[in-house]
Chains A and B, each alone.
Chain A
Amino acid sequence: MTTKAPKSDLKVKRILVALDASPHSEEALEAAVELAHSLEAELEGIFIEDEDLLRLAGLPFVRELRHFSARYEDVSSQRIERELRTQARRAEAALARSAKPRRLHYSFRVLRGRVEAELLEAAEEADIVTVGRARSAPERTRKLGSVARAVVREASRTVMVLHRQAHPSQPVCVIYGACGTARKALAAGAQLAAAQGSELRVFIPDGDREQAAASENEVEEWLAGQRFAATVQRVAGRDCRDLLRSLQHYSCGAVIVERDDPMLGEDELHDFLVGLDCPVLLIR
Chain B
Amino acid sequence: MTAKALPVSALCQECDERQLDFDTTADLKDLTEVIGQARAVESAQFGIGIRREGYNLFALGPTGTGKFSLINRLAKEKAATEPLPNDWCYVNNFKEAHKPRALELAPGLGDSLRRDMDQLVDDLRSSMPAAYESEEYRTQVQAIQEEVKEREESALQELQKSAKEKGIALIRTPAGFAFAPTKDDEVVSPDEYDKLSKTERKRIERDVEELQQQLQRSLHQVPQWKKEIKDRVKSLDREVATYSVSHLIESLQEKYRESAAVTEYLGEVREDVIDHLEDFRSNEEEGPTVLGIQLSKAAEGPSFNRYKVNVLVGHANGDGAPVIYEDNPSYQNLVGRVEHLAQLGALVTDFTMIKSGALHRANGGYLLIDAQKVLMQPYAWEGLKRALRSRQIHIESLGQMLSLVSTVSLEPAPVPMNVKVVMLGDPYLYYLLAYYDPEFGELFKVAVDFDDRMQRDADSSRLYPRLIATLVRKEDLRHFHRTAVARVIEHSARAVGDAERLSTHMGSVQDLLREADYWADEAGADIVRREHVQHAIDSQIHRSDRLQQRIQEEIQRGTILIDTEGERVGAVNGLSVMSLGQYSFGQPSRITARVRLGEGEVIDIEREVELGGPIHSKGVMILAGYLGARFAHDRPLSLSASLVFEQSYGEIEGDSASSTELYALLSALAEAPIKQCFAVTGSVNQQGEVQPIGGVNEKIEGFFDVCRARELTGEQGVLIPESNVKHLMLRQDVVDAVADGKFSIYAVATIDEGIEILTGVPAGERDASGRFPPNSINYRVDEKIRTLSEKMHAFATATKGAEAEDEKGEAGDDEGAEE
Contact = CB atoms under 8 A, between A and B. Distances in A.
Interface string A212-249: 00000000000000000000000000000000000000
Given A72-B212, A138-B150, A53 B219 contact: no
A63 B212 contact: yes
A108 B149 CA distance: 33
Given A59-B180, A59-B190, A86 B150 contact: no
Q: Determine which residue in A67, A114, A137 has the highest number of CB atoms from chain B within 10 A of its CB, and name it.
A: A67
B216 A70 contact: yes
Interface in B184-230: 186-190, 193, 204-205, 208-209, 212, 215-216, 219-220, 222
Interface string A63-85: 11111001010010000100110
Given A59-B188, A63-B212, A138 B175 contact: no
Contact of A58 (B189, B208, B216): B189
A65 B146 contact: no
A83 B176 CA distance: 11
Interface in B125-174: 142, 146, 149-150, 153, 169, 171, 173-174
B173 A80 contact: yes
Given A52-B187, A56-B187, A61 B205 contact: yes
Chain B interface extent, by class:
20 to 34
Contacts of A75: 173, 178
Contact of A86 (B173, B174, B179, B212): B174
Contacts of B142: 140
Chain A interface extent, by class:
20 to 34
B174 A80 contact: yes
B730 to A, nearest CB: 104
Interface string A84-112: 10110000000000000000000000000
Contacts of A83: 173-175
B149 A138 contact: yes
B190 A55 contact: yes
Nearest to B145: A138
Contacts of B178: 56, 62-65, 75
A138 B189 contact: no
Contacts of A53: 171, 173-174, 187
Contacts of A59: 180-181, 187-188, 190, 193
A62 B174 contact: no
A114 B190 CA distance: 16
A86 B174 CA distance: 9
Contact of B179 (A62, A80, A87): A62
A252 to B, nearest CB: 20
Nearest to A116: B185
Interface in A126-159: 137-138, 140-141
Nearest to A84: B174
Contacts of B208: 61-62
Contacts of B153: 137-138, 141
Interface in A16-61: 21, 51-53, 55-56, 58-61
A53 B212 CA distance: 17
Contact of A140 (B146, B169, B171, B188): B146
B216 A72 contact: yes
A183 B216 CA distance: 54
A56 B219 contact: no
Q: Determine which residue in B142, B150, B171, B222 has the highest number of CB atoms from chain A within 10 A of its CB, and name it.
A: B171
B177 interface: yes
Given A56-B171, A86-B174, A65 B190 contact: no
Q: Determine which residue in A59, A72, A83, A84 has the highest number of CB atoms from chain B within 10 A of its CB, and name it.
A: A59
Given A62-B208, A66-B175, A141-B153, A56 B180 contact: yes
Contact of B190 (A58, A64, A84, A141): A58
A65 B216 contact: yes
A64 B177 contact: yes
B408 to A, nearest CB: 41
A86 B175 CA distance: 11
A59 B186 CA distance: 13
Contacts of B173: 53, 56, 64, 75, 80, 83
A65 B174 CA distance: 11
Main secondary structure of the interface of A (DSSP, over half): mixed
A102 B186 CA distance: 40
A106 B189 CA distance: 35
Given A62-B208, A84-B174, A55 B187 contact: yes
A59 B195 CA distance: 12
A138 B157 CA distance: 13
A51 B188 CA distance: 11
A86 B190 CA distance: 24
Nearest to A114: B186
Contact of A67 (B146, B175, B186, B209): B175
B176 A66 contact: yes
A70 B177 CA distance: 10
B681 to A, nearest CB: 107
Contacts of A63: 178, 212
A175 B265 CA distance: 63
Nearest to A64: B178
B206 to A, nearest CB: 10
Nearest to B170: A65
A67 B175 CA distance: 6
A64 B176 contact: yes
A52 B176 contact: no
Given A63-B212, A65-B216, A140-B146, A55 B174 contact: no
A232 B179 CA distance: 53
Q: Determine which residue in B146, B174, B205 has the highest number of CB atoms from chain A within 10 A of its CB, and name it.
A: B174
Interface in B527-550: none
B437 to A, nearest CB: 75
A196 B150 CA distance: 37
A86 B173 CA distance: 13
A75 B179 CA distance: 11
B176 A62 contact: no
Given A52-B171, A55-B187, A140-B150, A67 B180 contact: no
B180 A65 contact: no
A55 B189 contact: yes
A72 B208 CA distance: 12
A140 B142 CA distance: 10
Interface in B104-132: none
Nearest to B220: A70
Contacts of B193: 59-60
A75 B178 CA distance: 9
Interface string B567-595: 00000000000000000000000000000
A141 B174 CA distance: 23
Nearest to A135: B172
B186 A52 contact: yes
A266 B176 CA distance: 32
B122 to A, nearest CB: 32
B215 A65 contact: yes
A60 B222 CA distance: 28
Contact of B180 (A52, A66, A70): A52
Interface string A196-210: 000000000000000
Contact of A87 (B174, B181, B205): B174
A243 to B, nearest CB: 27
Q: Determine which residue in A21, A58, A86, A114 has the highest number of CB atoms from chain B within 10 A of its CB, and name it.
A: A58
A60 B186 CA distance: 17
A138 B144 CA distance: 13
B227 to A, nearest CB: 15
B180 A138 contact: no
Given A53-B171, A56-B180, A137-B153, A65 B212 contact: yes
A195 to B, nearest CB: 31
B170 to A, nearest CB: 10
Given A21-B174, A53-B174, A55-B188, 5 more contacts: A53-B171, A53-B187, A60-B190, A70-B219, A70-B222
11 contacts: A55-B187, A62-B180, A63-B212, A65-B212, A65-B216, A65-B219, A67-B176, A70-B216, A70-B220, A84-B174, A86-B174
